[in-house]
Amino acid sequence: MLTSAVLQAINGVSLAALLFLLASGFTLSFGLMRVVNMAHGAYYLLGGYIGLSIVQKTGSFALALAGGGAAIVVLGYLIDRFLIRRTGENHLAQVLLTVGVAFVLGDVALQIWGGDNLMVPAPAFLKGAVVLPGGVYYPKYRFVLIFLGVIVGLVLWLLYRKTQLGAVVRAGVDDREQVNATGINVDRLFVMVSALASFLAGMAGVAGGAFLTLYPGAEWEILVYALVVVIVGGLGSLEGAMIGALIVGLLDAYGRWLLPEFSYFVLFGPIALLMLFRPRGLFGRDH
């Protein structure tokens, strides 16, 4: 019982690491650009599939992570520049538009990669298990994922809180016009943040594809998890995305273990409670 509880905790934290990769981009692009991009899940899936093809061609997982992310940066830029930008700040229009984009991307992915569950092969040195104290075996890959999540989280946090660039982004979240008026090119800032968000989503697809597998429909499942992370943490907050990812990852792992048929309910509980007491999430503010 105790060992299962520990194993579920690791499961939860490794899912949290993956969710953070996706939710941080989502929350930052909302915070800065006021854009709700429902195609984020499709970015994840497509990034994963592209990474899979790269692994199959070259055998390099690292190249797949970079390539999956980079491909989505290009795609994300085009979608942003030619479609999302035209909706202004109308969230309803953004949601409908990006849902439409996600439908198209999902359909294209289905035509290219088919409808089967595909697993991105992890590199040989990450395969196999680690022996934990107490003689419990645990897949090595999940630990590496946690490590990746922590590194990305740390880098993002340092960039956001400790550098000049981060200060400009934070100022942009607070008051975009004012930042523009001080002579900073806000447009270029937007392109950079949105490229970062796209890269993280594509990379998350490759990382997640190696243990959750890739299949049609995965884009919506992962998106909803990311949305719950963002709702719990507060839209536009990087710290909120970290805490939210941990809460959602752990709740999901324990929910699947203890109440397998109702694991979605276990996620629903905290959202309902939050709405009663803090409708804007833990770190959110009025938008």
Partner 1 sequence: MEKARIALLLVALAAALALPFTAGPFWTGLVTQMYIFGLLALSVDLLLGHAGLFSLTHASFFAVSAYTVAILHVRYDVPTALAAPAGILAGTLLALVFGLAVRTRGVYFILITIAFGYVVWGVAHRWSSFTGGDNGVTNVPFPAIGAAAITSHTQYYYLVLAAIIVCGLGYRVFMRSPFGLGLRGIKASESRMQSLGFRTSAHLYAAFVLSGALASFAGVLYVYYNKFVNPVAASFPVSVEAALMAIVGGTGTIIGPFLGAAVVLGLRNWVSSFFEMHASIMGAVFIATVLWAPQGLVGIAGRIRARWRKARRG
Q: Which is nearer to partner 1, 131 or 272 (CB)?
A: 272
Query: Does 100 interact with partner 1 (rule: CB under 8 A)?
Result: yes
Q: Which long-range contacts (CB under 8 A, 24 or more apart) does 27-30 make?
A: 27/230, 27/233, 27/235, 27/236, 27/237, 27/238, 27/240, 27/241, 28/169, 28/193, 28/196, 28/197, 28/236, 28/238, 29/193, 29/194, 29/197, 30/230, 30/235, 30/236, 30/287
Residues counted in the chain:
287
Q: Decide: 98 and 37 in contact? Cβ < 8 Å.
A: yes
Residue 95 binding partner 1, by CB under 8 A = yes
Q: Is 124 one of the binding residues for partner 1 (CB under 8 A)?
A: no
Least distance from partner 1 to the Cβ atom of residue 164, Å: 29
Question: Which C-beta is closer to partner 1: that of 218 or that of 231?
Answer: 231
260 touches partner 1 by CB under 8 A: yes
> In Å, how far are 27, 101, 134, 188 from 35, measured between CA atoms?
9, 14, 48, 16
Q: What is the DSSP string of 215-271?
A: -TTHHHHHHHHHHHHHHHH-TT-HHHHHHHHHHHHHHHHHHHHH-GGGHHHHHHHHH
Q: Which of residues 213-242 bind partner 1 (CB under 8 A)?
A: 220, 224, 227-228, 230-231, 235
Stretch that binds partner 1, among 43-51, 97-105, 132-140, 197-205 (CB under 8 A): 97-105
User: CA-to-CA distance for 148 and 283, rounded, in angstroms?
Assistant: 24
Residue 276: CB minimum distance to partner 1, A: 7
| Selected binder of partner 1 within 63, 70, 87, 184 (CB under 8 A) | 87
Q: Which of 7, 99, 171, 184 binds partner 1 (CB under 8 A)?
A: 99
Say whether residue 187 binds partner 1 (CB under 8 A). no
Binding pattern to partner 1, positions 12-31, x when CB under 8 A? ------------------x-
Q: Is residue 279 near partner 1 by the rule CB under 8 A?
A: yes
Contact footprint for partner 1 (CB under 8 A)? 30, 36, 83, 86-87, 91-93, 95-97, 99-104, 106-108, 110-111, 220, 224, 227-228, 230-231, 235, 260-265, 267-268, 271-272, 275-276, 279-281, 284, 287
